């Protein structure tokens, strides 16, 4: 199968600093791939290179079968992009924002009207179509961004921190929309986040980024199997020590065998534990 997104030995250097360092990665059609990492890891820079907004210093990037450096226009026609900074025009109405984007992509008038209706309906913004964007909540603006990114029928959607700053309920609603798009339309997606629950809930595969490098990748199952599915936490003064075990059962057995269990507990391992294990730091 030809990968939907492929990066080979990609570097990005800003002011003599390598912010993306030898990144190689392939995302298959229909996959939701999550890039997880703390602030400054290089996730946004990676998305900017994949979406033709920044040029890699070195390496090859192919998106939807096109080379991002030599075939940027073709890449842009195949992708939808939802960036961190809200990039919808606040003084235009919801409909006008969609209309403007549709014209930019030369979608014929009749089809444009139908598609705007369809996508506003999909993200449940039909009743706000005539309202100015500045009157919308943060979650609604994000849904409008998604609807707009889908208007020209992209095959791959890039989402940079799609739920950052949103309350848990709004976040969950966006997750349902993202998951639905993948299920209903088979849309390939790459999203970045520093919320481990987001990747645990949404992503088929996960790449963990730190300091410009991809330090681990695989399915959640694979990562947990590799690093250990069970954890024993031991309180040491004001901090916790973590011991990994192949299974939660093995962690429980270890705990049972301890003569003094004070300040100790077991639980299933999560992505944050794996990140801490790999880097010695927390995700945020």
Contact status: 263 vs ligand ADP (CB under 6 A): no
DSSP of 17-84 = EEEEEEEEEEE-TT-EEEEE--TTSSHHHHHHHHTTSS--SEEEEEETTEETTT-HHHHHHHEEEE-S
Check binding of 230 to ligand ADP (CB under 6 A).
Answer: no
40 binds ligand ADP (CB under 6 A): yes
Beta carbons of 63 and 79 less than 8 angstroms apart: yes
* Structure-token match 């629950």, residue found: 197
- List the one residue from 37, 102, 207, 230 that touches ligand ADP (CB under 6 A): 37
Q: Return the number of other C-beta atoms located less than 10 Å from residue 58's C-beta.
A: 12
End-to-end CA distance of the chain: 36
- Is residue 227 within 8 Å of residue 219, measured between CB atoms? no
Q: Which of 45, 52, 97, 193 binds ligand ADP (CB under 6 A)?
A: 45
User: For ligand ADP, which is the closer residue by CB, 155 or 192?
Assistant: 192
**55 touches ligand ADP by CB under 6 A:** no
Count of residues in contact with ligand ADP, rule CB under 6 A: 11
* 207 touching ligand ADP, by CB under 6 A: no
Q: How far apart are CA 255 and CA 192, in angstroms?
A: 36
228 binds ligand ADP (CB under 6 A): no
Work out which of 6, 31, 34, 42 binds ligand ADP, going by CB under 6 A.
Answer: 42
43 lines the binding site for ligand ADP (CB under 6 A): yes
Stretch that binds ligand ADP, among 32-40, 86-94, 99-107, 230-238 (CB under 6 A): 32-40
Binds ligand ADP (CB under 6 A): choice among 6, 44, 145, 155: 44
**Distance (Å, whole) CA 174 – CA 197:** 13
Residue 281 interacts with ligand ADP (CB under 6 A)?
no
Closest contact distance (angstroms) between CB of 210 and ligand ADP is: 9
Sole window of 14-22, 94-102, 107-115, 240-248 interacting with ligand ADP (rule: CB under 6 A): 14-22
Residue keyed to tokens 């959640």: 220
Residues 111 and 107: their CA atoms lie apart, in Å, by 7
CA distance linking residue 35 with residue 14, whole number of Å: 21
Which spans of this chain sit near ligand ADP (rule: CB under 6 A)?
14-15, 19, 37, 39-45
């Amino acid at each position: 199968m030809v990968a939907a997104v492929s990066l080979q030995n990609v570097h990005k250097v800003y002011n003599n600093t390598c912010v993306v360092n030898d990144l190689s990665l392939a995302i298959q059609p229909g996959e939701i791939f999550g890039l997880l990492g703390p602030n400054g890891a290089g996730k946004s820079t990676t998305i900017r290179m994949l979406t033709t907004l920044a040029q890699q210093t070195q390496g090859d990037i192919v998106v939807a079968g096109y080379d991002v450096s030599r075939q940027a226009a073709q890449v842009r026609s195949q992708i939808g992009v939802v960036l961190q900074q809200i990039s919808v025009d606040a003084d235009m109405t919801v409909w006008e924002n969609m209309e403007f984007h549709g014209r930019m992509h030369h979608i014929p008038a009749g089809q444009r009207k139908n598609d705007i209706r369809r996508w506003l309906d999909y993200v449940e913004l039909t009743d706000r179509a005539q309202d100015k964007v500045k009157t919308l909540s943060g979650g609604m603006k994000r849904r409008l961004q998604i609807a707009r990114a889908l208007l020209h029928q992209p095959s791959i959607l890039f989402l940079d921190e799609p739920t950052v700053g949103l309350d848990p309920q709004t976040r969950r609603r966006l997750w349902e929309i993202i998951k639905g798009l993948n299920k209903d339309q088979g849309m390939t997606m790459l999203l970045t986040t520093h919320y481990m629950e987001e990747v645990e809930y949404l992503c088929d595969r996960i790449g963990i980024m730190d300091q410009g490098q991809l330090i681990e990748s695989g399915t959640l199952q694979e990562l947990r199997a590799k690093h250990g599915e069970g954890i024993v936490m031991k309180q040491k003064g004001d901090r916790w020590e973590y011991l990994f075990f192949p299974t939660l059962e093995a962690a429980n057995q270890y705990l049972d065998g301890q003569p003094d269990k004070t300040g100790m507990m077991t639980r299933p391992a999560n992505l944050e534990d794996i990140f801490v294990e790999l880097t010695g730091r927390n995700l945020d």
